[in-house]
Structure 1
Amino acid sequence: MKHDFSNVTAGGPLRVGILGGGVAGATVALRLADMGIHSVLIEASNGLVNGPPICHLHAGGNLYRDISDEQCLTLLRQSIASVRAYPHSINRRPTVIATPVSDAGNAEALLPRLAQVAREYQRLVEEDPANRVLGNPEHYYRCYSRAQFEALANRPLPTRAETHDDWMIPLAHHLDPDSLKFPLILVQEYGWSLFRMAATATLALNSSPHCELHFDTRAMELQQTQDGWLVHGRDHQGQARQFRVDFLVNACGFRTGQVDDMAGYRRQRLVEYKAAYLARWHCAEQWPEVIFHGERGTPQGMAQLTPYPNGIFQLHGMTDSITLFKNGLVASCEQSAQPRLPQPYQAQLEQGWQSPDIETRTRQAIAHLARLLPAFGDAEPAGKPLFGAQQIPGTDPRLRAADVSFEGMNYARVEIVKASSALTAADRIVGRLAELGWIEMADLPLSPSLALTQGQHAAEVAQEALRLARERGYPDELALNIG
């Protein structure tokens, strides 16, 4: 591909300002830097991709029974692109979807959707072999009947999981088939390491001459000028900073509405406060991720068990006492584009969690999993939660596939719900720059494979991920590869 940015502005090379260095802002900066477009990234914390818990690609949307098939296909395409953009951040282990007998759902209800997703994955691989990042399309998912599941319980635990059956054997040893509806479904739905993603972005952008990183700096005021924006900021020492940019990207996550307010734009959105918990369970076998479906917001809400090395598990429970929070879903209003979370949740976002809250909610998460996996009741809390707030554009809390919207000639707001949508948002911003004549492009669409990340070595990404996990106070295992 050939791109020409030599005549982008009368005042010199194009400067794109990015407010926010989470997965959205970092991915936009990666795409621009990879194309040789200069960006100025302003982040209030001391590092990149330091936001809500991420552990799952969401390829195909198999966790969500109530979203549309089109959203699922969009998530599949976006996930494939994201794996190619962040090649060393994926944990290649499958996900097992189980429907408890206590749930009103039909265990076979997902099968038509999975068949559709598998066909689309096969089509994408045929279109470009580089899209074969979720395993063999012919084996994208597999159903296990009760008889097959019970037969696996008689097989020894493998020392290393290499086949679909190997991944299912630990479940067969520990789960009571009388508590489940069949079939169980194994999907080549992979995990995503938040810390290896952060490491990928950190190493790439630190090495690029096309990205200025300004950490511990917060935008305080926006001033629209004749040819762009003037960002008035303040660093952690209280010093005033000013940044002139031609095009501004609002990638501030759940605080996106604050920037909209500063820019004078109104936007309807929701914000939901969430948390995931860490537990250590002494088991020698390799586990897949396990999703136990359940009705959101009830005591039987969906339970999610995400494995990491050395017996560390990340836990979600879609109840108000675990991952969800009472009054934790809030909406914007006519006076402000920024939804207002209750003060206790805002305090946790600003100051972190206190030990009693960590202990109580982690043990509630362990008990929620132990309803269906009794042996997991022996697990112990293993660190502070991964927590944050998730923005959802519009008014539908079920929306999962969203990316970017635009205002005027030089303002974009990234509004991703799932991390896999970030590259799509970045590419739409590039398309907008081309549409408005800021840049000239010879070829579209852009390849999801970025030169900045393709050239990285897995070992250097892993080393940086370990550094970030320790710096942020989380177990090493969250940075390590599994699968």
Structure 2
Amino acid sequence: MNTHPCYAVMQRPLTVGILGGGVAGATVALRLADLRINTLLIEASNGLLNGPPVCHLHAGGNLYREISDQQCLTLLRQSIASVRAYPHSINHRPTVIATPVADQGDVNTLLARLKQVSQEYARLVAQDPANKVLGEPEDYYRLFSREQFMALAQRPLPKVAHSHEDWLIPLAHHIDVNSLKFPLILVQEYGWSLFRMAATATLALQNSPHCQLLLNTRATHVTPLNEGWQITSHSPTGSQTHQVDFLVNACGFRTGLVDDMAGFTRQRLVEYKAAYVTHWPSAGDWPEVIFHGPRGTPKGMAQLTPYPNDVFQLHGMTEHITLFKDGLVKSDASSAQPQLPRVYQEQIDHGWQQVDIEARTQGAIEHIARLIPRFASAKVAGKPLFGAQQIPGTDPSLRAADVSFEGAHYARVEIVKASSALTAADRIVTQLIEQSGIILPQLDNTNGSLPATLAITQRYSASEVEALALSLASTRGYPSALALIRDTLAK
């Protein structure tokens, strides 16, 4: 018998069916295939991870002033696990949290939370040194006073950032110190490359003997059986049926459609969002910069996310940029699936018109230029990253969520942030162990926990992941900068 910790011995043959190959479904498939559990992954599009924009790891939840400390700690733990699950997917640069003078918030209210998150990170690293994926725990965050920031504005731009101070110099050169409240916060919340995540999942699952991956295939019916489910699917080659012992509904914002097919009621929200791709020639290594502001107002949070080759991704939490009028919808008694306005559904299914790309991207540029005036010269660099995300329940501020179950044979993955996907996968494995007869004779560290890393994703080099990521970005019509590993660029 193979006694590798990632080897699963089944008391009986078992197959898990997963509907949806976004971050949630692909991550669940990776965990199951890594445990050698037979997995059927059905995805309607022609590739994995074709969902809403992902650019930020959220390792501590510092972008969200409104969420609870507990959600921040959960996002930290989930982010660390996700970095280990998706090697080569992280963009290593810090995030600057800035509060404009015009904002009513008090930056000092974030300090107690930062201390708490930093202490938890230190505890996790002490527990397992492999958890040190966000730099040294004592460097998790740094505060910069007004005087320190003004002094940085007098220093020349370094060609490559090597210190916390180096990362702040470009911002100090481009912003009026009188427009900000102090201290500024620099925190090790890294970036996340959607395309390198997609490449990692694609390489691992296509080459796994334990995963049957069906792309361009849509589930049309699900029928409960005594011990499992029958899935009817349709692809360009015709219809077929599949029998599975456990069904995972990982259909993202369309999760309610499968709930309806399965006969389950569920209360949820769906929110349509977009981020915008721009080009702005600038010197220096930029951090990500978050300017806090009241959501949904003209001064809503502004987010500047840097990529190689002077490409910047933009968010603006207003109805004219990242958020959309009537773009937050809820389910009702007639269906578990919230209904987006037709215009947004058309954009999701068929793409954007060029006039809309130009108008909303220009609006995002102007939103950033309120705070960084020279950014007004930025240009549109491609189509937006867009999509809809589900939020279980009725609280639109919820950020840390993972999975819920119906009986012994059905799970719905309900992540709001991509970093929650591995937690959902692990809870599904626990459900299988408890109710479906799987035996995992030697779990990691002999303490009954699942392995902290996925062997299935560790087999591919950074260059292999980057090469496929570049191909995916090109195929999907996005700049190569969104797929590049920053450290490989000549400086």
Alignment TM class, shorter chain as reference: over 0.9
Say whether 1:477 aligns with 2:481. yes
User: Offset of 1:108 from its aligned partner?
Assistant: 1.3
User: Offset of 1:394 from its aligned partner?
Assistant: 0.4
- Listed as ranges, the gaps of 5+ residues in structure 2 are none
What are the within-5 Å matches in structure 2 for residues 6-405 of structure 1? 6-9=9-12, 13-237=13-237, 239-405=238-404
Separation (CA, whole Å) in 2 of partners of 1:337 and 1:274? 20
Separation (CA, whole Å) in 2 of partners of 1:173 and 1:299? 25
- Listed as ranges, the gaps of 5+ residues in structure 1 are none
For the 8 Å contact 2:275–2:384, the answer to whether it is kept is yes
Separation (CA, whole Å) in 1 of partners of 2:204 and 2:372? 41
Query: Which TM-score applies when normalising by structure 2?
Result: 0.96
Separation (CA, whole Å) in 1 of partners of 2:109 and 2:98? 12
- Any idea what the Cα deviations from partners look like across 1:229-268, whole Å, max 9, x if unmatched? 110111135x112111110000000000000000000000
User: Offset of 1:310 from its aligned partner?
Assistant: 0.7
Q: Say which is worse superposed, 101-110 or 270-279, in terms of deviation.
A: 101-110
State the one-letter code of the partner of 2:284: E
Separation (CA, whole Å) in 2 of partners of 1:3 and 1:53? 31
Separation (CA, whole Å) in 1 of partners of 2:222 and 2:19? 11
Tell me the secondary structure at the aligned position of residue 55 of structure 2. Answer: coil
Tell me the secondary structure at the aligned position of residue 230 of structure 1. Answer: strand
Separation (CA, whole Å) in 1 of partners of 2:280 and 2:391? 34
User: Offset of 1:482 from its aligned partner?
Assistant: 2.5
- Any idea what the Cα deviations from partners look like across 1:340-371, whole Å, max 9, x if unmatched? 00000011011010100000000000000000
Pairwise CA RMSD: 1.0
Separation (CA, whole Å) in 2 of partners of 1:194 and 1:345? 22
Separation (CA, whole Å) in 2 of partners of 1:413 and 1:7? 23
Of all paired residues, the percent bearing the same amino acid is 68
User: Offset of 1:284 from its aligned partner?
Assistant: 2.5
User: Offset of 1:155 from its aligned partner?
Assistant: 0.5
- Any idea what the Cα deviations from partners look like across 1:48-85, whole Å, max 9, x if unmatched? 01110000001110000010000000000000000000
User: Offset of 1:454 from its aligned partner?
Assistant: 1.4
Separation (CA, whole Å) in 2 of partners of 1:268 and 1:468? 34
State the one-letter code of the partner of 1:316: H
Tell me the secondary structure at the aligned position of residue 224 of structure 1. Answer: strand
Tell me the secondary structure at the aligned position of residue 109 of structure 1. Answer: helix
Change (3 A) 1:472 1:255: same
Aligned to 1:456: 460
For the 8 Å contact 1:80–1:131, the answer to whether it is kept is yes
Q: Say which is worse superposed, 224-233 or 155-164, in terms of deviation.
A: 224-233
Tell me the secondary structure at the aligned position of residue 99 of structure 1. Answer: strand
For the 8 Å contact 1:90–1:191, the answer to whether it is kept is yes
State the one-letter code of the partner of 2:35: M
User: Offset of 1:2 from its aligned partner?
Assistant: 3.9
Separation (CA, whole Å) in 1 of partners of 2:474 and 2:69? 39
Separation (CA, whole Å) in 1 of partners of 2:234 and 2:190? 40
User: Offset of 1:4 from its aligned partner?
Assistant: 6.6
Separation (CA, whole Å) in 1 of partners of 2:94 and 2:26? 27
Separation (CA, whole Å) in 2 of partners of 1:6 and 1:86? 25
Separation (CA, whole Å) in 1 of partners of 2:141 and 2:275? 26
Aligned to 1:423: 422
For the 8 Å contact 1:269–1:391, the answer to whether it is kept is yes
Separation (CA, whole Å) in 2 of partners of 1:406 and 1:359? 42
User: Offset of 1:3 from its aligned partner?
Assistant: 6.4
User: Offset of 1:5 from its aligned partner?
Assistant: 4.4
Q: Aligned residue pairs: how many? A: 479
Separation (CA, whole Å) in 1 of partners of 2:219 and 2:39? 15
Separation (CA, whole Å) in 2 of partners of 1:345 and 1:180? 35
Separation (CA, whole Å) in 2 of partners of 1:309 and 1:57? 18
State the one-letter code of the partner of 2:479: P
